[in-house]
Amino acid sequence: MGACPFGKDGGEMNPKLKEKILESLAAVLPITLIVMVLSVVLVPMDVGTSVMFTVGAVLLVFGMGLFQLGAEIAMTPLGEGIGVEMERVKRVPVIVGIAFLMGVIITIAEPDLQVLAQQVPSVPNKVLIYAVAVGVGTFLALAVMRILKRISLSKMLLVLYGLLALVSIFVPKDFLSIAYDAGGVTTGPITVPFIMAMGVGMAAVRSDKNAANDSFGLVALSSVGPILAVALLGCFYNPQNTVYTATEVPQVITTQDVALEFMHGLPHYMLEVAMSILPIIAVFAIFQFATHRYQKRQRTRILVGFAYTYVGLVLFLCGVNVGFGPVGTVLGRELARSHKWLLVPIGMLIGFFIVKAEPAIQVLNRQIQGVTNGSISAKAMNRCLSIGVAVSVGMAMLRVVTGLPIQYILIPGYVLALTLSFIVPPIFVGIAFDSGGVASGPMTTTFLLPLSIGACETMGGNVMSDAFGVVALVALTPLIAVQIMGVMYRIKTSRMKRVVVPAFDGRDDIIEFEEGV
Amino acid sequence: MSNEKMRASFRMLMLITTPKLGDKAVSLFEREKLPMQCQAYAHGTASREMMDMLGLDSGEKSLLLSMMPKANADELLKQLRRELRLGAFGNGIAFTIPLSGTNRRMLQMVEQICEEQHHEPEKRRIDMRENEYQMIVALVNQGYSEDVMAAARPAGAAGGTVLHSRRVGAEETLQQWGFSIQQEKEAVMILARKEEKLAIMQAICEKCGLQSDAQGIVLAIPVDSVVGLE
C-alpha cells in the first residue's frame, strides 16, 4: 500500500508505468535519432543546439508519457461521460446548445490558436479567435445533430467541403494556406481526446448497428469550422499582408545557455497550458454537479489525471518549442542550401516517424482499437498514418522546391478523399477524417512548419504561399491513407467470407450435451 | 422440434490477459488453427487504492472466448499456461466453463477442426486446478465496480475483471431520437474458491445488491479447469 511505483515483488517495475515509458520512447526516439544522424552526416549542427535538442527530446519523452496517462484517466472518461449523458437529454435545443458551448469554450483556450492569431495581423486577434471558436462550436453542434438526425457523414462532408471550395475562390491566395492550416491547428492535444471521447460516449449507450460508426466524425466536422471561419474573415478583411514569425535560432554555446533557454520558455508554457486546461476542469465541475456521474475514487482519479495532463503538456510543449523548433529551421535552411535535391526524401523520412510523436495520435489509435475491439489495431493505424504523413511532407517539400500552388494538391486530394468516403465502410470515413485533424498537432506546427519555412527562406520562395500549407497537407493525406486501408479491409473481409462458408446441407438446429464421455 | 441429446463434454474456454499477451494468444489460436469465437476488451480491478488514483493500476485486459471439446480445452489451457506464462504476476488466467448445448452447425465446425488437432499430451506436470473454483458475476450500474471489489475483497476475492456493457431490457429502454438508449452496466467477474464463493456473493449482495444504488445482480457459474492462479 503506497505510492511506490514498483510491484509488490520488489524490483519488478509497475507494468503500467513501464508500458507508458516504453510507449513514449517508441514515439520520440525514432525522430530524435533521425535528426541526430542527419546532424552528423549532412547538416552539421553546433554542439549547443544539439544539446538543446537532446534535452528537448528528454522532455518530450516524459511529457508524452504523462500526457497519455492523463488522457487515459481524465480526458477520456470525462468526454465519454458527457457524451453518454448528453444523449439522455430529451430536448434538441439543449443538446445542440451544449455541443456549441463545448466547442467554443475548448477552442478559445487552445494555445495554438493564439499563435495563429498573431500570424494574421490584418485581422484583429480577438475577432479571429472568436470567429474560429464560433466556427468550431457551430460545427460540433452540427456534428451532434448529424448523429441524431442520421445524416450520412460522407454526404455531410461533401456538402461542407463543397461550400469550402466555393468560399476558397474568393479568398486571397496568400490567405488560403493559413485558412487550411487553421483547421489542422485548432484541433489540438486537449480538444482531440475530449471531443473524440464525447463521440464514443454518445455511441456507447446505443444498441443499433450504426453506433460504432457514429463514434467517430466529431473531430472531422469540427475541424471544417475553423477553415471556413478563417477563409470568410479573409474575404471580409481582404488582408494585404500577412506576416509570420520565423522561429529564431538562439545562440547557445554552453550548457548554461541551454538551461536558460528552457527556463525562459517554461513559465510561458505553464501559463498557456493552464489557460487551456482550466475551462475543461470547469466543465468537469459543472458536469459532476449536474449529473453526479463519478463516484469518489473516480473523481480523485480524474483530478489526478488533469494534473498529469497539465505537467505532461507543459513538458511536451516546452521540449518541442525550445528544443525542436530551432533545429527544424536549421535543418530546413541547411538542407536547402547544400542538398536541395534531398529535401523531398528527407522530408518523407521525417514525416514517416514524426506522426508517432504527435501526442493525440496515440489517444486516437487507442480509442479506435477499443471501439472496433481490435479489428482496426493501433499498429495498423500507426503504419497508415506514417505513410500518409510521409507523403504529405514530401509534397510540402516539393512545393518549397518548385513553388507548386497548394490548390493543385488540395483540390484533387479532397476530391479523392470525398469519393473514397462513398466507397469504404462508414466507420473508416469517420476514423479517416478524424485522424486528419489529429495528425496535424504541435509536432507539425513546431517542427515541420519551421523546417519548410527555413527551406523556403533559403531558396528565396514566397514563404506565405509556399511554406505554409504543410499543416494542411498533413491533415489531408491521412484521409486518403486511412480510407485506402478501409478499401483493403473490405476486400479482405469479402474474401474471407467466401472461404469460411463451407457447404452445409440441412437445417441448423440445437444439440444439447449430456456430461460424460 | 427435433432437439437431439449428445453425450459429449464441451467447454467454453475463457482467457483473461494483458492486450499484448492477448495478441500472442490470438496468433497461437491461428497457428494451431483453433476456432476463436470472440475477443473483447475489459479492464482489471484495482488492487491498491493509491496506485489506482494515480492511474497506475487497473490495466487493460483482453478477453478471449472459444468453444471446444473438453479434451482439447484442457490441452490448450496447458499450452496457454506455458506460452503466455500465466501464473506469473499480472499475466492473466484461463479457465473453462461447461457448456450444455449449441447449434449443430457450430458443433460440426468445431469438431472438424479439433479432430485434426492431435497433440502429444503434455508430459510435464502443469499446475491445473479442476473443480476448485467458481466464477462470480456481479452486474451493477456504471461506476460501481470499485464498490463491488471493495465488498468482495474482505470476503476473500483476490481480483476481478470488469466488462463495460449495456442493459438490454424492454421496459427501461429509453426510446429517443429513434435510437434505443440503454443504461450502462458494468459486469464484474471474480474467480473464487468454492468454499469462499458464498461469503463473497453475500458481501457483494449486501453492499451492492438491488436495494442499493448499484442495483446489482450476483450470479455464480461453475468453472471446470483453471490455470494461472498460483
- Whether the per-residue pLDDT at B175 is higher than 70: the answer is no
Dump pLDDT digits (tens) for A10-68: 445 677 788 888 889 999 999 999 999 998 888 888 888 888 999 999 999 999 999 99
Contact A300 B51 (CB under 8 A): no
Q: Which element (helix H / strand E) includes A87?
A: helix A76-88
Q: Confidence class of residue A4 from pLDDT cuts 50, 70 and 90?
A: very low
Q: Nearest-CA residue of chain A relative to B51?
A: A3
- Whether the per-residue pLDDT at B3 is higher than 70: the answer is no
Select the residue from A89, A499, A513, A514 to test the B interface by mutation, using most B Cβ atoms within 10 A. Answer: A513
Which of A486 and A176 is assigned the larger pLDDT?
A486
B52 contacts in A (CB within 8 Å)? 297, 301
- Whether the per-residue pLDDT at A333 is higher than 80: the answer is yes
Selecting from B102, B108, B179 the residue whose C-beta is nearest the C-beta of A208 gives B179
Q: Confidence class of residue A248 from pLDDT cuts 50, 70 and 90?
A: low
B103 contacts in A (CB within 8 Å)? 508-511
- Whether the per-residue pLDDT at B47 is higher than 90: the answer is no
> C-alpha angle with apex A275: A269 to A276, nearest 5 degrees?
95
What is d(CA B168, CA B210) in angstroms, rounded to the nearest whole number? 17
Selecting from B8, B108, B147 the residue whose C-beta is nearest the C-beta of A513 gives B8
Q: Residue A301 burial (CB < 10 Å; 0-12/13-18/19+)?
A: buried
* Closest chain B C-alpha to A514 CA, distance in angstroms: 5
Q: Confidence class of residue B159 from pLDDT cuts 50, 70 and 90?
A: confident
What is d(CA A310, CA A303) in angstroms, rounded to the nearest whole number? 11
Q: What is the pLDDT of residue A261?
A: 85
Overall average pLDDT of the B21-26 stretch: 87
- Whether the per-residue pLDDT at A398 is higher than 80: the answer is yes
The pLDDT > 70 percentage for chain A reads 91
Q: What is the pLDDT of residue A422?
A: 93
Q: Confidence class of residue A7 from pLDDT cuts 50, 70 and 90?
A: very low
Selecting from B41, B53, B102 the residue whose C-beta is nearest the C-beta of A297 gives B53
Q: Nearest-CA residue of chain A relative to B5?
A: A512
Q: Confidence class of residue A388 from pLDDT cuts 50, 70 and 90?
A: very high
Dump pLDDT digits (tens) for A267-281: 988 988 898 889 889
Q: Nearest-CA residue of chain A relative to B53?
A: A301
Overall average pLDDT of the B60-88 stretch: 86
What is d(CA A233, CA B13) in angstroms, rounded to the nearest whole number? 61
Q: Confidence class of residue A204 from pLDDT cuts 50, 70 and 90?
A: confident
For residues A140 and A103, the answer to whether their CB atoms sit within 8 Å is yes
Across all residues in chain A, what is the average pLDDT? Answer: 84
In the block, residue with C-alpha cell 429509453: B174
The pLDDT > 70 percentage for chain B reads 84
What is d(CA B142, CA B126) in angstroms, rounded to the nearest whole number? 38
Selecting from B9, B40, B166 the residue whose C-beta is nearest the C-beta of A207 gives B166
A304 contacts in B (CB within 8 Å)? 53-55
Overall average pLDDT of the A242-256 stretch: 69
Q: Nearest-CA residue of chain A relative to B144?
A: A295
- Whether the per-residue pLDDT at A498 is higher than 70: the answer is no
Selecting from B39, B56, B180 the residue whose C-beta is nearest the C-beta of A207 gives B180
Contact A516 B41 (CB under 8 A): no
Dump pLDDT digits (tens) for A436-462: 888 888 888 888 988 988 898 888 877
Q: Confidence class of residue A100 from pLDDT cuts 50, 70 and 90?
A: very high
* Closest chain A C-alpha to B107 CA, distance in angstroms: 8
Domains located in chain B, CATH noted: 10-129 (3.30.70.120), 133-224 (3.30.70.120)
Q: Confidence class of residue A500 from pLDDT cuts 50, 70 and 90?
A: low
* Closest chain A C-alpha to B138 CA, distance in angstroms: 18
Q: Confidence class of residue B170 from pLDDT cuts 50, 70 and 90?
A: low
Selecting from B5, B55, B176 the residue whose C-beta is nearest the C-beta of A69 gives B55
Q: Give the phi and the psi of residue B221 in degrees, each rounded to 5.
A: -125, 135
Show Cβ contacts of residue A297 under 8 Å, excluding neighbours closer than 6 positions.
Answer: B49, B52, B53, B146
A76 contacts in B (CB within 8 Å)? none
Overall average pLDDT of the A344-354 stretch: 93
Contact A511 B102 (CB under 8 A): yes
Contact A514 B7 (CB under 8 A): yes
- Whether the per-residue pLDDT at A169 is higher than 80: the answer is yes
- Whether the per-residue pLDDT at A233 is higher than 90: the answer is no
For residues A424 and A488, the answer to whether their CB atoms sit within 8 Å is no
- Whether the per-residue pLDDT at A216 is higher than 80: the answer is yes
Q: In what order do the strands lie in the sheet with B38-44?
A: B129-130, B225-227, B92-98, B10-17, B60-69, B38-44, B161-166, B184-193, B133-141, B217-222
* Closest chain B C-alpha to A511 CA, distance in angstroms: 5
Overall average pLDDT of the A113-141 stretch: 82
In the block, residue with C-alpha cell 492511474: B55
Overall average pLDDT of the A141-159 stretch: 89
The pLDDT > 90 percentage for chain B reads 22
Q: Confidence class of residue A2 from pLDDT cuts 50, 70 and 90?
A: very low
What is d(CA A30, CA A472) in angstroms, rounded to the nearest whole number? 24
Select the residue from B179, B183, B208 to test the A interface by mutation, using most A Cβ atoms within 10 A. Answer: B179
Q: Which element (helix H / strand E) includes B15?
A: strand B10-17
Dump pLDDT digits (tens) for A267-325: 988 988 898 889 889 999 999 998 888 888 889 999 999 999 999 999 999 999 888 88
In total, the C-beta contacts within 8 angstroms joining chain A to chain B are 144
ipTM over 0.95: no
A516 contacts in B (CB within 8 Å)? 7, 9
User: Could you tell me the three cell numbers for B217?
Assistant: 445482480
Overall average pLDDT of the B170-187 stretch: 68
Q: What is the pLDDT of residue B120?
A: 59
Overall average pLDDT of the A361-389 stretch: 87
Q: Name the residue type at position B152.
A: A
- Whether the per-residue pLDDT at A158 is higher than 80: the answer is yes
Q: Nearest-CA residue of chain A relative to B174?
A: A88
Across all residues in chain B, what is the average pLDDT? Answer: 82
What is d(CA A494, CA A492) in angstroms, rounded to the nearest whole number? 6
Q: What is the pLDDT of residue A182?
A: 78
B164 contacts in A (CB within 8 Å)? 204
Dump pLDDT digits (tens) for B100-147: 888 888 788 787 777 776 665 555 666 677 888 999 999 998 888 888
What is d(CA B226, CA A206) in angstroms, rounded to the nearest whole number? 35
Contact A72 B55 (CB under 8 A): yes
Q: What is the pLDDT of residue A9?
A: 43
Residue B191 β-bridge partners: B135
Question: pTM of the full predicted structure?
Answer: 0.83
B108 contacts in A (CB within 8 Å)? 504
For residues A314 and A70, the answer to whether their CB atoms sit within 8 Å is no
- Whether the per-residue pLDDT at B219 is higher than 70: the answer is yes
* Closest chain A C-alpha to B136 CA, distance in angstroms: 22
Contact A87 B107 (CB under 8 A): no
